[in-house]
């Protein structure tokens, strides 16, 4: 199988790093890598050449490979050049407004990495979890950069400085990594999540679990939060407001798949925080968990810094690319056997992640008919 790796146009990461490139070649594949594809992740063309890959121009990959891989989907013009090929990317088909018909019309077999089921059997392929872990780590680093005080407690000759208080809203992969990182820096941490299963994980990392009784807990939601009743939301808002007023840093990670992120922090809550406090909103691209968040922007509101960034993983491109590549390699093992493609649509992983095949869209957005468009600020 001749596999092509594209250079990302607006991302420092690369889909396949030299280490995984070498493994793919050893497994009987031919690998073509676009020139400078790994440069921004600090992987040189020579690194790929040493691994056995062929360095080519973008046009050659689009024209002459059989399987193409990129982190972000290519544009419409380039999409048409992929006719008859297998194309792996992250199409986010569940997002409002995404039109998959051009993909089907181009005659592409499209496999979407963000549609791989978040189950135990597919854990090693889960790019969402890999990138969320990096985002959780960097959210704390970003908060520490903007917070005008120490994270740990320090005892000095001039007196004792108390530790920073951190509140994490959403204890999924990103939230748990944020808790672990803040703990390493010496902060006192509280965490909130609607999922009862998160309590034990939060406590195991040394944080206090903030619990609101009466949450709807859907274990089939694939790691995402689910919509809650109005009564629950009122109790949640009251408790979160109480906790936020005492926090130096708030990190929010709650997202609803295919829908706008839930508003957890209202304007009045921000205004109740101490000057110098920091909010890092990892749900910024889907509207944000904070009412004041602006996507891909750092703003200040009455002395509180609000960081809106849903793509922090791209800011750690070397390790992010390493994890991304390993996830993709494990995914390829499902249907790439000795350099030959074997797509079994009875396989749950293939069935879930294949969004277009043989001129037909195979994914139907369950939110399209009854969901209002996301009110997300256009950052382009």
List active site positions. Answer: 118, 123, 126, 129, 224
Angle between helices 317-335 and 127-146 (to 10 degrees): 170
How far is the C-alpha of 8 from the C-alpha of 43, rounded, in Å?
13
How far is the C-alpha of 79 from the C-alpha of 37, rounded, in Å?
18
Residue 45 φ then ψ, to 5°: -60, -35
How far is the C-alpha of 152 from the C-alpha of 162, rounded, in Å?
7
How far is the C-alpha of 145 from the C-alpha of 62, rounded, in Å?
42
Residue of 93, 39, 66, 97 whose CA lies nearest to 375:
97
3-state secondary structure of 88: strand
Residues 212, 239, 256, 181: what is their CA dihedral angle, to the nearest 10 degrees?
-100
Place of tokens 């274990």: 219
Task: Supply 198's token pair.
Answer: 């998160």
* Buried-state track 116-154, b at ≥16 Cβ within 10 A, e below 16: bbbeeebeebbbbbbbbbbbbbbbbbbbbebbeebbeee
Which run of H or E residues covers position 227?
none
How far is the C-alpha of 103 from the C-alpha of 71, rounded, in Å?
16
SS3 content of the chain, % helix, strand, coil (to 5): 35, 20, 45
How far is the C-alpha of 103 from the C-alpha of 85, rounded, in Å?
11
Q: Are 151 and 163 in contact (CB under 8 A)?
A: yes
How far is the C-alpha of 10 from the C-alpha of 72, rounded, in Å?
9
What is the CB neighbour count within 10 angstroms for residue 343?
A: 15
Task: Supply 354's token pair.
Answer: 């294949």
Q: Are 153 and 163 in contact (CB under 8 A)?
A: yes
């Amino acid at each position: 199988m001749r596999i092509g790796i594209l250079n990302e146009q607006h991302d420092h990461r690369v889909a396949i790093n030299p280490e995984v490139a070498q493994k793919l070649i050893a497994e009987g594949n031919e690998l073509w890598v676009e020139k400078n594809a790994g440069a921004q992740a600090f992987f040189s063309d020579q690194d790929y050449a040493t691994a056995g890959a062929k360095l080519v121009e973008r046009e050659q990959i689009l024209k002459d490979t059989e399987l193409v891989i990129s982190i972000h989907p290519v544009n419409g013009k380039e999409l048409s050049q992929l006719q008859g090929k297998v194309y792996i990317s992250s199409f986010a088909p569940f997002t409002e407004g995404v039109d998959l018909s051009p993909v089907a019309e181009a005659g592409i077999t499209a496999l979407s990495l963000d549609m791989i089921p978040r189950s135990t059997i597919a854990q090693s392929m889960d790019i969402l979890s890999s990138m969320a872990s990096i985002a959780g780590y960097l959210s704390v680093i970003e908060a520490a950069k903007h917070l005008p005080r120490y994270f740990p407690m320090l005892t000095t000759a001039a007196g004792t400085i108390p530790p920073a208080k951190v509140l994490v809203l959403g204890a999924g992969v990103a939230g748990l990594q944020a808790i672990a990182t803040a703990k390493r820096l010496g902060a006192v941490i509280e965490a909130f999540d609607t999922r009862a299963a998160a309590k034990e994980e939060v406590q195991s990392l040394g944080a206090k679990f903030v619990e609101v009784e009466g949450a709807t807990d859907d274990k089939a939601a694939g790691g995402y939060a689910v919509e809650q009743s109005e009564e629950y939301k009122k109790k949640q808002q009251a408790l979160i407001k109480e906790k936020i007023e005492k926090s130096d840093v708030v990190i929010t990670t709650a997202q609803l798949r295919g829908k706008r992120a839930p508003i957890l922090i209202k304007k009045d809550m921000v205004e109740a925080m101490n000057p110098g406090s920091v909010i890092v909103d990892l749900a910024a691209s889907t509207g944000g968990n904070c009412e004041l968040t602006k996507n891909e922007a750092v703003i200040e509101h009455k002395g509180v810094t609000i960081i809106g960034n849903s793509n922090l993983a791209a800011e750690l491109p070397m390790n992010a690319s390493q994890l991304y590549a390993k996830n993709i390699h494990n995914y390829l093992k499902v249907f790439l056997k000795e350099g030959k493609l074997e797509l079994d649509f009875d396989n749950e992983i293939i069935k879930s992640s294949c969004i277009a095949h043989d001129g037909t869209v195979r994914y139907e957005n369950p939110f399209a008919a009854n969901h209002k468009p996301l009110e997300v600020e256009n950052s382009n």
